[in-house]
Chain A
């Protein structure tokens, strides 16, 4: 049982970064300017690298013959445990930045806490990842301020993106059974404490960026338990295409 729980907890950590990495990858060659194109795909690459570490570990833990590739490519939609936020589309650059910022703040807090995990592999992955995540957060925070406190147009569009995306942000902190188990075992941090810190940090930066966080939001939950938005199927259709068309192909 604990083996299954640990594997599922690792997937909760890895899946959100993977789906966000895929979303950012869609921007390759389509970024609004060359430097941001390179930055967003660099971040995508960092995330995929981190996800490989998680999935290799999950495959080791499962010890049932599955590989990191099987975990990435061959699960069904309901078996993916990513939060709803990261599957939201690249509507425009403001959406890309707001989604990234909401994720980066969470991601950095999560990695800083996971360093203290009793699980030594997860702690090592967190120690490695946090250095990269710091850069991501720097990037998205800078753009939040630049767009939010920029022109009338950039402010309006970022405010609209924040209004649309904020309802998905709390899904990152929704505590699933497997996360409750992991917290009890000393493997995972306490999500409630992280959430408090998260809201404080997001609000402080948004204030600086002259952006309002919607009050009285009705939050959407369920991604980490496999209940995804409609977008997820389309992401997987592209993501899994090669493996579904040519099963077991290698490259």
Chain B
């Protein structure tokens, strides 16, 4: 394993503090790992939403996690490429669902779901598609609030963001 692969491996242990089950690697936040002449590494991350308050914590967590393996690193936030929900890996989507957050749909389906058309987003509790949007804005900027009409469970939906 190369040193950079090793770092990427270690970073699997760092997660978004607001969605603890989802590693930042599966979230697609880590764009590049660069080795520097002094033996340290520069890690480029991109924000999900501009105002995501978790980014500073994530940067601190990356440095802390790598220092456990005696790796010196600096984290830099970059703006481009702009993050999209397509950057979430398949494993990441499954982790979201297991945690109780419905994974983002394709853009056209997402639009329909957020316009209030039902039968698009699947309930993370009972699997029914008989669900209803309650609010386009949820507990964090990246989520909308839904409710299942069958089991009455409210749940978060991770909005498609492209």
A residues within 8 Å of B by Cβ? 35, 38-39, 42-43, 45-50, 52-53, 121, 124-125, 127-129, 131-132, 135, 138-139
Contact = CB atoms under 8 A, between A and B. Distances in A.
A41 B97 CA distance: 26
A42 B80 contact: no
Interface string B74-93: 00000110110000000000
B82 A121 contact: no
Nearest to B135: A35
A38 B137 CA distance: 7
Nearest to B143: A42
B50 interface: yes
Contacts of B135: 35, 38-39
A50 B82 CA distance: 13
Interface hub of B52, B141, B161, B162 (most chain A Cβ within 10 A) = B141
B116 to A, nearest CB: 10
B113 interface: no
B17 to A, nearest CB: 16
Interface string B131-162: 00011111101000100000000000001011
Contact of A35 (B82, B137, B159): B137
B136 to A, nearest CB: 6
Contacts, number: 63
A128 B161 CA distance: 10
Interface in B52-101: 52-53, 79-80, 82-83
Interface of B: 47, 49-53, 79-80, 82-83, 114, 134-139, 141, 145, 159, 161-162
Interface hub of B51, B159, B162 (most chain A Cβ within 10 A) = B51
A127 B82 contact: yes
Nearest to B161: A131
Contacts of A125: 79
Contacts of A131: 82, 161-162
Contacts of B162: 131
B50 A52 contact: yes
Given A39-B135, A39-B137, A48 B79 contact: no
Contacts of B137: 35, 38-39, 42-43, 135, 139
